[in-house]
Structure 1
Amino acid sequence: MYSFLTTENWADYELVDSGNFEKLERFGQYYVARPEPQAIWDKHLPEQEWQRLANAVFTRDKGSQEKGQWKLKKGMPEQWFINYTYNGLKLRFRLGLSSFKHVGLFPEQDANWKFIYDTTKKLKTPQPKVLNMFAYTGAATLAAKAAGADVTHLDSIKQVNFWARDNMEASNLDNVRWIVEDAMKYARREVKRGNKYNGIILDPPSYGRGPNGEKWQLEDELNEMIKLCREMLDGTDYFLLINLYSMGFSAMVLDNLMRGTFGEMVQNEELGELYLLDGGKRKLPLGTFFRFSSVGR
């Protein structure tokens, strides 16, 4: 089933407007304006309204596509917390203004967090084992943990794992296994050990580096990573979710990879796109996903 999924019913988040390669978002009580390469249309709100609302504005450094500076209005903190609730799930996230325009959370992942929480609860295995790779600040990790899973959280950046731990503590959760390592190295080792997981979550970047300089290039590495996941995924009681934010990568790429690798394990599948709906009713595309499970929803 091909789906277009968006973030819904989240009191602490809103995509206020988008356009002219920017987006204006509300996280809790604070408004943040930052670049968005997909927003090629015109803004819905006038520029004066953006300037009035935005507590923090990100501007790229000259000659850089990634790094930049935040300009803050008086009273705008560099870190703050927001809440997230869904069907008994209660999480709390620490946000912060990074030099790469990020704030520590990708709100379009709301639909995937709900899938992880609901599906983990339906697995038959008591305290199912879930592996979250490229796990960032841990929202998906915490959704699985809150549903009763034994979770391994893996990211190659130590500071990001510390951030995820802060989110765990703020959400009144505990006992997550934290690993700072290159994802491919870890997956190969787990396959050699014969270790199995009931759930695997992946949100790989287009490119990146491991803690020891290991190179990750999505188009070069993804096929092998998916094959390793096939070896790690339990054969009877399972789910797998992969999300890609890479302009130019169709969801059909994931469809081909998943069906070719997992075969008859692909049940109750769903693939498609994640988007955010702004105040002008424009749909901002923010990634493709493929997910399947042995238990449905």
Structure 2
Amino acid sequence: MNERILSLTPGPWNDYELIDTGGFEKLERFGEFIVSRPEPQAIWDKSMSESEWRKMAHAHFAKEKNNPDKGKWEQLKKMPHNWQIAYSNEDGLNLKLNLAQTSFKHIGLFPEQAVNWDYLYQTIQKSPVQNPKVLNLFAYTGAASVAAKAAGADVTHLDSVKQVVTWSRHNMEASKQEGIRWMVDDAMKFIKREARRGNKYQGIILDPPAYGRGPDGEKWVLEEQINEMLKTCAEILDPKNHFLLLNMYSLSFSSLIAVNLIQSNFGEVKNPEHGELYLQDRFDKKLPLGIFFRFSSY
């Protein structure tokens, strides 16, 4: 496989900045508001002092002792619970994204994924198929779905949590798009049904969590199920005109794992690229935020 190995980070973005990282935390600006949150990858020291962080931040996520992903927001300055930011690129993609403080430290956006929104927008516009069918699995709040729709795709957006599907709809409407198909379902069950029906997609986006639950309590463990999922995705991906974008965030995963998974389930693919996604703070520290593999027939 003659792949390109890349380390990717978003370009200049007016409404987002990673300010500082370290001490298992990150300090970020979303629009006019600054928040600090836990970050297990930031194992080095902070470049700024604790007092500087506290002075800058509007809110800080205080994690529970036994569960770093759960906790509560401590309000340090006045800020709204819900707000919006914008994203745009030189190719004409324009997104409006709704953010909110959640009880799981997330705010509804993974900024490092902006490089993949750009990729989707560019790749879909090159498709020889008019309105290519694109399936977004584990789609969360749907920035990738909206980017794909803005590029002209016929998008099916699937997530197991009804509330984030509603959140995605609000992102679509704020971005002045329409017509995305919404699905609240277990990703594995859905694609197996699609395979039995003989349905095909010109594009598949996967951003699976390390652990998760389906709407009926179905268990998802990345290491145990990603191979089977990709095997089924190979059955429903259009063999002639297609792209696939895979993201995985697991502390133990190398992008070479993605290479082996793609090779064993799809064979030789065209235009393969893989590597790391990262964000860079003001002090030039690079925060790794997952691995990716993507390929396209055009």
TM-score, shorter chain, exceeding 0.5: yes
1:211 CA displacement: 0.3
Higher deviation after alignment, 59-68 or 17-26: 59-68
Equivalent position of 2:156 in the other structure: 152
3-state SS in 2 of match to 1:7? coil
Q: Which runs of 5+ in 2 are unaligned?
A: none
1:241 CA displacement: 0.3
Equivalent position of 1:294 in the other structure: 297
On the 8 A contact 2:38/2:68 being kept in 1, the answer is: no
1:72 CA displacement: 1.1
Equivalent position of 1:45 in the other structure: 48
Give distance in 2, aligned partners of 1:144 and 1:41: 36
The RMSD of aligned alpha carbons is 0.7
Residue number among 54, 63, 66 corresponding to 1:63 in the alignment: 66
Equivalent position of 2:239 in the other structure: 235
Give distance in 2, aligned partners of 1:65 and 1:228: 33
Give distance in 1, aligned partners of 2:64 and 2:280: 28
Q: Which runs of 5+ in 1 are unaligned?
A: none
On the 8 A contact 2:112/2:277 being kept in 1, the answer is: yes
Equivalent position of 1:140 in the other structure: 144
Equivalent position of 1:26 in the other structure: 29
3-state SS in 1 of match to 2:103? coil
Equivalent position of 1:121 in the other structure: 125
Equivalent position of 2:7 in the other structure: 4
CA distances 1:57-113 after superposition (whole Å, capped 9, x unpaired): 000123222210101134211110000001211100000001110000000001111
3-state SS in 2 of match to 1:110? helix
User: Does residue 133 of structure 2 align to residue 168 of structure 1?
Assistant: no
Equivalent position of 1:89 in the other structure: 93
Give distance in 1, aligned partners of 2:271 and 2:69: 38
Matches within 5 A, 1:103-118: 103-118=107-122
- TM-score (norm: length of structure 1): 0.98
Q: Structure 2 counterpart of 1:270, which letter?
A: E
On the 8 A contact 2:9/2:115 being kept in 1, the answer is: yes
Equivalent position of 2:264 in the other structure: 260
Residue number among 216, 222, 232 corresponding to 2:220 in the alignment: 216
Q: Which runs of 4+ in 1 moved over 6 A?
A: none
Give distance in 1, aligned partners of 2:135 and 2:110: 19
Give distance in 2, aligned partners of 1:65 and 1:9: 30
Q: Structure 1 counterpart of 2:125, which letter?
A: K
3-state SS in 2 of match to 1:237? coil
1:8 CA displacement: 1.1
1:165 CA displacement: 0.3
Equivalent position of 2:57 in the other structure: 54
The percentage of counterpart residues that share the same residue type is: 59
Give distance in 2, aligned partners of 1:51 and 1:73: 8
On the 8 A contact 2:54/2:76 being kept in 1, the answer is: no
Give distance in 2, aligned partners of 1:160 and 1:247: 25
Give distance in 1, aligned partners of 2:168 and 2:180: 10
Residue number among 78, 81, 101 corresponding to 2:81 in the alignment: 78
Q: Structure 1 counterpart of 2:94, which letter?
A: K
Aligned length: 294
